């Protein structure tokens, strides 16, 4: 006679647990659906390779909001700590800790156009063995979808390790906040480059302190990708914010659009030897059709190019202080070797050849030079006219398994 009440109690307990699990799952689906969708979309495209010290490459799709509107509305962030706190509070709901540690990087970029009028923007990202990720977003609410490249070392995932753990994948939710280059569906592309400002001792971060709202290095790039429909709109957006570079180092930017317009954005004060107070720096903008101040060849060339040194005239007393000057000159000479190609006419294949030429493995071998940025982690050629991307992992231009093409068809 006593067994029936026991069975009834067990049934009630089981039903209660089941109800709790259903409610919990509904709660998670409501508040984490975008995040869960992004995590489930993570796909490995390239495995790590010991023979050339290359790390793995992943792709992640982020559909829906990632709270960037709220980030802008709160006034952005004036340092990495504030950015991390916002990301943790919103994207991981305060559960998953995230660390941002930007590395010491080198890069090269240029614009060009082919005979059909297709505009290209090429970029090499130079560092060391890294875990890379291509992030495709579709935020909606009037913001542009974008395709961007991320070095997951910026999120504390170091040494080119695979994303084997769920905690690492949760950390990748913050990848939307740390793009290093990208293109949006309007045909606007932007990327950042380390500029090594601050004199002989150590780099000094730009740290403006006016009454404007604040952005860090990579969130400035995210601002452009999400909201800018042209180079002029990008520059206008940037002028509305104080820049606070990440990880006690300094960056400059280049932005281009499908019309052929491009611009280099730098924050400078005085000269390299005295530019040691980041709060004193002001924004300088050099458009591709208004860059005579930089030099005679820049004035003559309709295309633009950039590496890691500041192009602002008079900034350096010694050419040896201009990191990446050799690659800067090599790019210009390859595109316009005799002064007869000032428009930068070049096929897609030739543009990829330029990226391959200044890839760090080949560059160091041919020029007998070496530094800490001994690998080109990725090379990317953005087609600004057709809004597509050719992405090459670790200088493997001749390996079809390491070359990828992306476009915005995923929006369909």
Give the pLDDT score at 156.
87
pLDDT at residue 387 tops 60: yes
pLDDT in tens, 277-303: 999 999 999 999 999 999 999 999 999
Cα–Cα dist 227/184, whole Å? 9
Please, which pLDDT band fits residue 227 given cuts at 50, 70 and 90?
Answer: very high
Q: Is 108 left (phi over 0), alpha (psi -120 to 50) or beta?
A: beta
pLDDT in tens, 99-151: 766 566 679 999 999 999 999 999 999 988 999 999 999 999 899 999 999 99
Single out the residue of 336, 337, 375, 340 nearest to residue 358, CA to CA: 375
* Tokens at 114, concatenated: 């082919």
pLDDT in tens, 27-77: 455 557 788 899 999 999 999 998 888 999 999 999 998 999 999 999 999
Q: Any residues with CB less than 8 A from the CB of 409 and at least 6 apart, and which?
A: none
Single out the residue of 369, 300, 297 nearest to residue 329, CA to CA: 297
Give the pLDDT score at 103.
61
Give the pLDDT score at 27.
47
Query: Looking at per-residue confidence, does 121 or 80 come out higher?
Result: 121
Helix axes 360-367, 348-357, angle to 10 degrees: 60
Cα–Cα dist 201/386, whole Å? 44
Cα–Cα dist 54/134, whole Å? 16
Mean pLDDT calculated for residue range 185-206: 91
Give the pLDDT score at 293.
94
Give the pLDDT score at 31.
55
pLDDT at residue 3 tops 80: no
pLDDT in tens, 304-340: 999 999 999 999 988 888 999 999 999 999 999 999 9
Q: Rounded to 10 degrees, what is the CA torsion of 328, 330, 332, 336?
A: 180
CB atoms within 10 A of CB 117: 9
Q: Any residues with CB less than 8 A from the CB of 2 and at least 6 apart, and which?
A: none
Query: How many DSSP H helices and E strands does the chain contain?
Result: 10, 17
- Report the run of H or E that residue 46 belongs to, with start and end: strand 43-46
User: Residue 319 has what DSSP assignment?
Assistant: G
Angle at CA 363, nearest 5°, toward 268 and 53?
Answer: 100
Q: What is the pTM of this model?
A: 0.91
Cα–Cα dist 153/160, whole Å? 8
**Percentage of the chain modeled with pLDDT above 90:** 71
* Tokens at 36, concatenated: 């869960």
pLDDT at residue 88 tops 60: yes
Strands of the sheet with 146-151, listed across from one edge: 43-46, 57-63, 132-138, 146-151, 181-184, 189-194, 251-256, 262-268, 282-287
Q: Tokens 């971060």 correspond to what residue? A: 205
SS3 66: coil
pLDDT at residue 232 tops 80: yes
Question: How does strand 388-393 pair with strand 403-407?
Answer: antiparallel
Please, which pLDDT band fits residue 97 given cuts at 50, 70 and 90?
Answer: confident
Mean pLDDT calculated for residue range 367-394: 88
Q: Rounded to 10 degrees, what is the CA torsion of 393, 396, 398, 403?
A: 0
Are 145 and 184 contacting, i.e. CB atoms less than 8 angstroms apart?
yes
Mean pLDDT of all residues in the chain? 90
Cα–Cα dist 80/100, whole Å? 7
Give the pLDDT score at 166.
86
**Percentage of the chain modeled with pLDDT above 70:** 89
């Amino acid at each position: 006679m006593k067994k029936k009440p026991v069975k009834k109690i067990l049934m009630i307990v089981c039903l209660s647990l089941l109800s709790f699990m259903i409610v919990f799952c509904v709660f998670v689906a409501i508040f984490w659906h975008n995040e869960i969708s992004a995590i489930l979309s993570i796909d490995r495209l390239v495995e790590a390779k010991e023979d050339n010290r290359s790390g793995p490459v992943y792709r992640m799709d982020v559909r829906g909001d990632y709270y960037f509107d709220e980030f802008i509305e709160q006034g952005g962030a004036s340092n990495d700590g504030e950015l991390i706190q916002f990301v943790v509070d919103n994207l991981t709901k305060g559960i998953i800790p995230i660390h941002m540690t930007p590395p010491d990087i080198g890069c090269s970029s240029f614009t060009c156009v082919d005979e059909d009028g297709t505009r290209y923007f090429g970029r090499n990202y130079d560092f060391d063995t890294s875990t890379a990720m291509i992030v495709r977003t579709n935020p909606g609410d009037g913001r542009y979808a974008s395709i961007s490249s991320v070095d997951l070392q910026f999120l504390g995932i170091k040494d080119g390790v695979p994303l084997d753990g769920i905690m690492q994948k949760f950390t990748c939710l913050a990848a939307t906040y740390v793009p290093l280059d990208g293109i949006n569906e309007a045909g606007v592309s932007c990327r950042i480059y380390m500029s090594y400002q601050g004199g002989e001792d150590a780099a000094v971060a730009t740290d403006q302190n006016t009454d404007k709202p604040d952005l860090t290095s990579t969130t400035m790039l995210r601002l452009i990708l999400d909201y800018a429909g042209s180079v002029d709109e990008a520059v206008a957006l940037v002028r509305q914010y104080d820049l606070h570079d990440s990880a006690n180092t300094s960056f400059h930017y280049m932005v281009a659009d499908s019309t052929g317009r491009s611009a280099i954005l730098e924050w400078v004060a005085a000269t390299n030897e005295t530019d040691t107070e980041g709060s004193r720096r002001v924004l300088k903008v050099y458009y591709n059709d208004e860059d005579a101040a930089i030099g005679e060849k820049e004035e003559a060339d309709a295309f633009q190019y950039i590496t890691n040194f500041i192009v602002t005239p008079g900034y350096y007393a010694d050419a040896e202080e201009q990191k990446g000057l050799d690659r800067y000159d090599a790019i210009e000479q390859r595109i316009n070797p005799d002064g007869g190609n000032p428009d930068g006419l070049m096929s897609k294949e030739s543009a990829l050849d330029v990226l391959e030429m200044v890839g760090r493995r080949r560059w160091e071998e041919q020029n007998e030079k070496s530094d800490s940025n001994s690998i080109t982690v990725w090379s990317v050629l953005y087609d600004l006219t057709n809004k597509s991307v050719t992405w090459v992992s670790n200088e493997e231009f001749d390996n079809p398994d390491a070359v990828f093409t992306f476009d915005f068809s995923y929006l369909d």
